[in-house]
Amino acid sequence: MTTVEIQEDFKLDFLKELLYNEEVRDLCVVFTKKDGTQREMACTLAESRIPEDKRPKTTTADSSQEAVRVFDEGIQEWRSFRTDSISKFSWSDSTSSINYCFYVGN
């Protein structure tokens, strides 16, 4: 696994690129929920991995600088998390056997 540390202000744009990328596989975001528990969520915004009946009816993004709305691939429902609660995200891509992990400094 390749590990790289990034700064907080780069996190959101980079994460959104990964979420929409059709070649990214197994994207997992680790974050702290409002109740203080830590959660790992396999998620995406890649249209091909969202069931047709679950796809958004509009093209307007429901994400902001504070929160990101994503499709949880584990429970097949839409969920969101605060960007300042992310501790790391990891993924692999369909073109190589490399696994990546980004730790986010708070």
So where are the chain's domains?
2-51+66-104
Residue 89 sits at the vertex; the CA angle it makes with 88 and 93, to the nearest 5 degrees, is 155
Return the minimum-mean-pLDDT range out of 5-14, 32-41, 84-93.
Answer: 5-14
Q: Residue 38: is its pLDDT beyond 90?
A: yes
More reliable by pLDDT, 65 or 23: 23
More reliable by pLDDT, 59 or 99: 99
**pLDDT class for 2, splitting at 50, 70, 90?**
low
The structure's pTM equals 0.83
pLDDT of residue 106: 56
Closest among 99, 84, 100, 101 to 31, alpha carbons compared: 84
What distance in Å separates the CA atoms of residue 106 and residue 98, rounded to the nearest whole number?
26
pLDDT tens, position by position, 40-89: 999 999 999 999 999 988 765 566 668 899 999 999 999 999 988 999 99
